[in-house]
Amino acid sequence: MAQADWETRPITFDTTGFEPLDGTRWFDPHTRDVVVLGVHEALPRSTHWLYEIEVLRRELAHTHAARPVPGPATGLDPRPTARLLEADAVVLDGCLALYTLVAEKLPRSATGRLFRASFVLAKKDRTAVLTGQFEEWEISGVRESLVSMKTGGPDRRRGGHPYDPGLPYEPSDDPAWDEQFPRHPLTKARAWARTVRESAAVAREFKALPAFRTR
């Protein structure tokens, strides 16, 4: 017997600018931007979850900073290759969700990065994850270079992360620069996330499921 529609697609949202690949994936035909909706049995690992958002932010920032990604030589690149930019507890159509924005270094690219904006809705026995992925696939590094020229900003290796000053942070990732770089994938990721928050509708059957609890 086929799964009920709400079990595979518990969230609907404004997909303007994207074309459907199937029922849970969409793509922008002019870029490499994609959106994926998935439902998994895996539950959040953090014992803090959304009830202690400040602690969770710091935890996630450290987790991403330590996470390796595939590299061309050894298979894993030991340098910092992922960075949490934003994390917050938000509400999607009455459901509490974790919003994150992560930057990842693209393999085999000196400056290219990929930005993932995600919404995680956790219930007692399943987790729905909606992710928009926005990639620098033409000229990369322009935003970082221009912001550095304008500000003479500090060496990013010295830290300054908003959730832990000891972690590295790229000054040009600050949302204050989005207006000056409207087509940059980071700006687009944030714009997409705003659209989701304004337009998302969560299936009533999913809403009715028992809530995920850490205690």
What average pLDDT does the segment 38-66 reach?
91
pLDDT score recorded for residue 45? 86
What distances in angstroms separate CA 122 from CA 34, 64, 155, one per listed residue?
A: 22, 20, 38
Domain total of the chain: 1
CATH code of residue 165:
3.40.1000.10
pLDDT score recorded for residue 1? 36
Round the average pLDDT of the chain to a whole number and report it.
88
What distances in angstroms separate CA 146 from CA 42, 100, 191, 203, one per listed residue?
A: 41, 26, 21, 44
- Domain assignment present for 186: yes
Rounded Cα–Cα distance for residues 174 and 176 (Å): 5
- Domain assignment present for 214: no
- Domain assignment present for 99: yes
What average pLDDT does the segment 22-45 reach?
94
The domain of 118 spans: 5-207
- Domain assignment present for 158: yes
What average pLDDT does the segment 138-153 reach?
85
Rounded Cα–Cα distance for residues 44 and 35 (Å): 21
- Domain assignment present for 213: no
Q: What is the DSSP string of 13-70?
A: ---TT-EEEETTEEE-TTSS-EEEEEEES-----SSGGGGHHHHHHHHHHHHHT--B-
